[in-house]
């Protein structure tokens, strides 16, 4: 404490006068208000720093999430293209097999028709009897 405050706080026997106590209380209030203002400013600064850090981290997370989503989409497209290619190959093989089976069916029917016609022709011809 400064000497002026010491004189006003206590008289010669160490007892505070109302006027001295009032000045000391006012001085303490000023100090407390100043300290509170400093602490408030520090808290605001720290709070702003925390908010800025949180925003930066959130932006990083969003960017990372978007990059991961883009990668997953690209992988999914590649997989879809691969599957489409496999399906097209399979369809082409199956179409060729169906065409082969249709030709086989047509040829078989034609052979059967020829054979049956031959049998009918044989039945319709007169047979010679040796006797």
- pLDDT for position 110: 97
Q: Which two tokens stand for residue 71?
A: 């990668």
Classify residue 84: in a domain, yes or no: yes
More confident residue, 22 or 71: 71
Classify residue 129: in a domain, yes or no: no
pTM: 0.49
Please check whether residue 24 is in contact with residue 16, taking contact to mean a CB–CB distance below 8 angstroms: yes
Classify residue 107: in a domain, yes or no: yes
Neighbours of 22 (CB within 10 A): 12
Classify residue 98: in a domain, yes or no: yes
Q: How confident is the model at residue 83 (pLDDT cuts 50, 70, 90)?
A: very high
Classify residue 50: in a domain, yes or no: yes
Question: Cα–Cα–Cα angle for 29, 35, 54, nearest 5°?
Answer: 145
Domain count, the chain: 1
Classify residue 128: in a domain, yes or no: no
Cα(8)–Cα(25) distance, rounded to whole angstroms? 11
Structural domain containing residue 92: 3-122
Cα(52)–Cα(39) distance, rounded to whole angstroms? 20
Q: Which two tokens stand for residue 34?
A: 């100043």
Classify residue 80: in a domain, yes or no: yes
């Amino acid at each position: 404490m400064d000497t002026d405050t010491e004189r006003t706080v206590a008289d010669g026997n160490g007892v505070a006068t109302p006027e001295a106590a009032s000045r000391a209380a006012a001085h303490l209030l000023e100090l407390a208000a100043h300290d509170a203002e400093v602490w408030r400013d520090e808290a605001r600064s720290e709070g702003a720093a925390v908010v800025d850090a949180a925003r930066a981290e959130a932006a990083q997370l969003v960017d990372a999430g978007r990059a991961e989503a883009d990668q997953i989409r690209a992988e999914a497209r590649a997989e879809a293209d691969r599957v489409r290619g496999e399906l097209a190959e399979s369809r082409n093989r199956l179409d060729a097999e169906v065409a082969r089976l249709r030709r086989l069916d047509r040829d078989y029917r034609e052979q059967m028709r020829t054979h049956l016609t031959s049998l009918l022709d044989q039945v319709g011809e007169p047979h010679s009897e040796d006797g």
